[in-house]
Structure 1
Amino acid sequence: MKLYIGNKNYSSWSMRPWVLLTQADIPFEEVMVRFDAFTPDSAFKTALKNISPTGKVPVLQEDDLLVWDTLAIAEYVAERFPECELWPHDQADRARARSVCAEMHSGFGALRSACPMNIEASLPDTGALIWRDNAAVRADVERLVSLWRDCLRTSGGPLLFGNFSVADAYFAPLCTRLITYTLPLPEDISAYVQRVLTLPGVQAWMEAARAEHDFLAFEEPYRLHR
């Protein structure tokens, strides 16, 4: 299998399947396609022309099969490697895990927009301003806390559904955002964030992100204008 991804420092959607595969010890070849201005004739779009139907990453390729949606990649990998138990064993828990992933897939737009992933950065002052001025971000974090707390209470932890699952990989990029912008969290939720960030697969991604040293101005709205 090949997994096409963008820059590790910025590409939150690429992070999800990469962490899932790495944490589950599933072998794959990484193909990094560097972000650029995303114009129709950009190097990024050109590199993905015959790979990604949407012109975006991530894309999983296995032989002639292309899977180009993050959640679809997770489902394919879970079916392809059932022994890894990437979804919870219990049927009701699987339904809940799929629900929280779908909510992440389509929700938390204010938080994702106001606090873009930037792993190597530390932006607590920016985070404080966002928290003060952006009610939608505060609402997203409140929902996130409620969602995670309910999952952890039901499963008993240490991760959302007990053992590592697609759900934890799906929320890993949000965990990095919460740290980058130092958004306020209750103690129990901060503890979950730290457990996610210390997973070997997440650690490997973050270490590689910090080592990129590939500053992209269009991905740096706060540091560019401060």
Structure 2
Amino acid sequence: MPRATLTISSKNYSSWSLRGWLLCRMAGLEFDEEIVTVDDPTVRAELLLLSPSVLVPRLTHNEVSVWDTLAIGAYLNEKFPKAGLLPKDMVARQHCRSICGEIHSGFHNLRSALPMNLKARHDRFKIFAGARPDIERVKAIWTECMERYGGPFLFGEPTIADAMYAPVCTRFQTYAVALDGPAAAYNEHILSWSLLQPWIAAAVEEPEEIEELDVEF
């Protein structure tokens, strides 16, 4: 049986690629990575925040081709139900789906003001005022989940939600977003998550190819 293939773009800049990659790792799927270069205009549109919808990441598994991170998560949950990508409890499961949908379709100001850049560190970054409500909402989501389900992940054990919010954790580290309490504990836990470390290491080694993103938004 042929191995699965996950098509992704920059590991340093692409939050959606990271989400798809984490989901495949969480599901226990063996896959090959296919890297789309930044010369591809659709990839550049994604990384420069000019396009809300591209075909990366894309998972090809047997005869199935699925793109969009939530669709990849739904497929992997059906294919590998024992991986626990969604909580077993029905109420928690719907809660998980809701906050995943929220990060998938919202937080536009946060994404544009704090673009993902794993190599960068901005200790005194001035955050655009329009992004602050998004940041407060993320902190509220994390705090509620940690207090309700006991941590260390949003729903106790790793779920699709953690893959969806992991890039936000890296953004908060890059731009020194102040956190405390359960939200800080969650952020620290995800940043030290063993599943995330290979991606971070590869991102750090990635060559600089997009000068437009090496700026403060």
2:34 aligned with 1:31: yes
C-alpha contact (below 8 Å) 1:23/1:200 kept by paired residues: no
CA, structure 1 residues 197+105, in 2 after alignment: closer, same or farther (shift >3 Å)? same
- Distance (whole Å) between structure 2 residues aligned to residue 200 and residue 211 of structure 1: 18
Does the 8 A contact of 2:146 with 2:182 survive in 1? no
Q: Distance in 2 between matches of 1:192 and 1:101?
A: 16
Q: Which amino acid aligns with 1:20?
A: L
Aligned residues: 206
Matching residue of 1:84: 83
Aligned-partner Cα distance in 2 for 1:23–1:60: 14
Gapped runs of 5+ residues in structure 2?
45-52
Shift of 1:18: 0.4
Give the alignment's TM-score, normalised by structure 1: 0.86
Q: Deviations over 1:105-136 (max 9, x none)?
A: 011111110110000111223x2x12xxx222
- What is the aligned partner in structure 1 of residue 50 from structure 2? none
- Matched residue, 1:8: 11
Return the offset for 1:55. 4.9
For residues 9-34 of structure 1, the C-alpha deviation after alignment (integer angstroms, 9 at most, x for no partner) is: 00100000101222443211111112
Helix, strand or coil for the counterpart of 2:195?
helix
2:214 maps to 220
Q: 2:72 matched to 1:73?
A: yes
CA distance in 2, matches of 1:140, 1:122: 20
Which amino acid is the alignment partner of residue 140 of structure 1?
Answer: D
| Aligned twin of 1:190 | 184
Compare CA radii of gyration and give the structure with the larger one: 1
**Structure 1 residue 175 displacement after superposition:** 0.4
* Residue 135 of structure 1: aligned partner: 129
- In the alignment, structure 1 residue 17 sits paired with structure 2 residue 14: no
Provide the secondary structure at the position in 2 that maps to 1:29: strand
TM-score between both structures, scaled by the size of structure 2: 0.89
Q: d(CA) in 2 for partners of 1:195 and 1:107?
A: 24
1:154 Cα shift? 1.0
Quote the Cα distance in structure 2 between the aligned partners of 1:85 and 1:30: 23
2-side partners of 1:23 and 1:136: how far apart? 33
Residue 150, structure 1, aligned to residue 144, structure 2: yes
Equivalence for 2:49:
none
Corresponding position of 1:49: none
Helix, strand or coil at the partner of 2:41: coil
Tell me if 1:175 matches 2:145: no
Contact 2:9 2:17 in 1 (8 A): yes
3-state DSSP of counterpart to 1:222: coil
For residues 21-51 of structure 1, give each alpha carbon's deviation from its aligned partner in whole angstroms, at most 9, with x where no partner exists. 2244321111111223627xxxx69xxxxxx
CA RMSD of aligned residues (A): 1.8
Tell me, what secondary structure is at the counterpart of 1:137?
helix
User: Hey, what does 1:50 align to over in structure 2?
Assistant: none
Q: Which runs of 5+ in 1 are unaligned?
A: 46-53
